[in-house]
Copies of this chain bind each other. A is one copy, B any other.
Amino acid sequence: MNSPKVLLVGGTHGNEINAPWVLDNWTYKPSLQDQSTVRLVKVLGNPAAYKAGKRYLDRDLNRSFRKDLLSDYSSKDYEVGRARELLRGFGEGGLNPCKLVLDLHSTTSSMGSCLVVYGRRPCDLALAALIQFRLGVNIYLHEGDFSQQGFLVESWPCGLVVEVGPVPQNLLEISIVRKTSLILEAALEEISKVLVEKDIYPKSIVVHRHLGSLDLPRDDEGRPIACLHPELQNQDWSPIKRGTPMFLYPNGEVDRFDEKGYVVPVFINEAAYAEKRISMSLTKREVWPFEKQWKEDFRSFVRSQ
C-alpha cells in the first residue's frame, strides 16, 4: 500500500513562529512498529511574511484560498500568488501532491490546544474525532460564515487547522512548541493506524459549532469605545449566559450578554482579529454521534492510491 503524503504547514501567518520552529527542529519518530507510516512534506506557509515578522504582507493567506481570488490573475497581492504556488506545489494536481494537510497555527487567545474543522467533510470529521478521542482536545467547527472564507485546508481533500495558545505573536515559547508537536504526533500516528487497520473511533464527538462573531462597540467613525471586559479575558471555552459581562466602557459601564441559553466564546481578544472586527466568536457546544460513513470515507481515502 502506498503510504499517504501529509503536508505540514507552519507559518501560514508569518508572525506565528512556533510551528515553523517545530517543522525545522522536530523529527517524527513513529511509535508504531509498523513500517507503513505516512510520508511528510513540510513547508513554510508564508515565507515573506515570516521574514517580515508580520501576519501577512498584502492579505491574510489563510483567507486567500478563494476560487474568485485564485482565478483573478490581475491581483498583485503576494498572498494570492503564494496560495497558487502552494497549490501548484502540493495540491492534489500539484508537482508533489499531498493528500492531507495539517496547518499549524498559534493564537494570543487562551485556546489551549484545539482543532479547527472547516465545514462538515466526513474525512475531516473522522480525523478530528480520532485526535479528540486520543487527546481530548476541543474541536471548533467553523462553517456558514460568509465574511470568513478561503481557508487553506479547504483546498485539500482533507485537512485540519491546529491552534495552540495563548502565545504572543512573534514569540517562540517551548510550551507552545511541545503542545503543537504533541497534536502533530497524535495526528500522524492516527493516520498511520488507518493504514494498518488499527484505527479505533469514538462513539461520539464534541464540537463547538460556530454561530458568529462579536465586534467591540464602536463610535460612528469605527473606533472602539469599549474594551473586552476583564472577566472574559482568557475565558475561552467557558460558557457565557444572560448577564455575563462582555464589554467595559471607560466610564465603568458594562455591556452584558443578553440572550437566552448558553454560548461558548472562542478566540477571545485574539490580537490578529482586531482588524477583522472580531472580539470573540460564539459557538454552541454539541455532542454528535460518530457516523459510520465518516470512518468508511476516511479509511478508503487514506488507503487509496
Contacts and interface: CB of A to CB of B under 8 A. Distances in A.
A233 B173 contact: yes
Interface string A263-276: 00000010110110
7 contacts: A169-B170, A171-B274, A172-B227, A172-B274, A173-B269, A174-B229, A175-B233
Secondary structure dominating the interface of A? loop
> Max chain B CB contacts within 10 Å: which of A26, A172, A272?
A172
A25 interface: yes
A47 to B, nearest CB: 14
B174 A25 contact: no
> Max chain B CB contacts within 10 Å: which of A54, A230, A248?
A230
A60 to B, nearest CB: 13
Contacts of A271: 168-171
Interface of A: 21, 25-26, 53-54, 108, 166-175, 177-178, 224, 227-230, 233, 248, 250, 269, 271-272, 274-275
Contacts of A272: 170
A167 B169 CA distance: 10
A227 B171 contact: no
Contacts of A230: 173-175, 178
Nearest to A225: B25
Given A25-B250, A173-B269, A174-B233, A168 B227 contact: no
Given A168-B271, A171-B269, A172-B227, 18 more contacts: A25-B250, A26-B250, A53-B275, A54-B54, A108-B171, A169-B170, A169-B271, A170-B271, A171-B274, A172-B224, A172-B269, A173-B227, A173-B230, A173-B269, A174-B227, A174-B230, A174-B233, A175-B230
